[in-house]
Structure 1
Amino acid sequence: MHRHFSFSFSFPAVLLFASLASCSLVPPERQAPPPEIVDAPQDLPSRQTLILDSLLAQKEDWQGVPYRYGGLSSKGVDCSGFVYLTFLSQLNMKVPRTTSALMEEGEPVARNELEIGDLVFFRTGPGNRHVGIYMGGDEFMHASVSNGVMQSSLKNPYWRERYWMARRLVER
């Protein structure tokens, strides 16, 4: 079952969002306080499990939703829109709406230090950037131009070749 979000935007605002969202069109496939968690923040494994459970719920609800540049609904969503909606609905965090703004948030993370919930960024062409959410085990979820919302592997040659950087928005 897909969750439906209703946003009231003016037409100029929609155009602005669409022009700033720089998700890839190449197939194939602000820092806010952390969400309130009942367990002590030092309990990293439990916290990681809670984050993963939230992300898996989002994936289940959104799997297959088609890609739509500038989209923010179950009728179509782009990569940064999917990140925005996921962090808002699942982690109770308001993050920037565009890929370029997301690239400036949080802290940089080395590829070998990725944790569940980190954002992974890709250079998919001249001026094209793509963002997804790391799920652990070299997997990430994202809104793919070719397949909509899906899970992909960082080991996939397409994504491995285009991997650029990662950012951590969720405090550990």
Structure 2
Amino acid sequence: MKKALILPLLTLSLVAGCASTPPPEPLPSTPTEKQEFTQLYHSWSGVPYRFGGTSKKGIDCSAFMQVTMSTIYQLHLPRSTELQSKQGRYIPEDQAAFGDLVFFKTSWNQRHVGMYIGENQFMHASTSKGVIISRLDNPYWASKFWQFRRINPPS
């Protein structure tokens, strides 16, 4: 019986030894940060989308993520969605946490970004409705989903 267990245990230990390193821990989501998120969302909610916009007169998705990450986490992001999509580390969908960035491929050459806030929801600057909270399982967003990225806090 002992010999029958040796091969499976040896195989399991070899596979475990080859596992990749775990993703970085999610950004903190303390009550203070969640309160800051709520205040930020209410102050920007409904601001119209404007490509290239960076103010409450109109803002695009990547500028809104710059504002969000700077306000809540004091993290600086690049200006474009393309560059933001290369920041931090890829996170599998089942490990997404509050504060992770969520990216979509909305057409062959267009990308969109928002901030995951948990419970299958994300905050973003929508081209049709301005700054809103949407659901990842909405058929449109589900069909365009690309990736989650976790931005590492400064060391």
| Larger Rg, first or second structure (1 or 2) | 2
So what's the TM-score if we normalise by structure 1? 0.70
Q: Which runs of 5+ in 2 are unaligned?
A: 1-24
Higher RCO (CA-CA < 8 Å; seq separation 6+) = 1
Q: How does 1:147-162 map to 2 (within 5 A)?
A: 147-162=129-144
Work out which of the residue numbers 70, 92, 95 in structure 1 matches 2:74.
92
Q: Among all aligned residue pairs of Structure 1 and Structure 2, give the percentage whose two residues are the same amino acid.
A: 40
CA distance in 2, matches of 1:81, 1:113: 25
Letter in structure 1 aligned against 2:123 = M
- How far does residue 89 in structure 1 lie from its aligned partner after superposition? 2.1
Aligned to 1:164: 146
Structure 2 counterpart of 1:48, which letter? S
1:109–1:168: 8 Å Cα contact kept in structure 2?
Answer: yes
Q: Tell me how many residue pairs correspond in the alignment.
A: 128
Q: Does 1:128 align with 2:127?
A: no
The answer to whether 1:118 aligns with 2:118 is: no
Question: What TM-score, normalized by structure 2, do the two folds share?
Answer: 0.77
Q: CA separation in 2, counterparts of 1:87 and 1:159?
A: 22
**2:29 matched to which residue of 1?**
48
Equivalent residues in 2 for 1:4-83 (5 A)? Answer: 47-49=28-30, 50-83=32-65
Alignment gaps of 5+ in structure 1: 1-41
CA shift digits 1:25-61 (9 cap, x unpaired):
xxxxxxxxxxxxxxxxx9x89x323433322221111
Q: Is the 8 A contact 1:142 1:151 kept in 2?
A: yes
Q: Which has the higher helix share?
A: 2
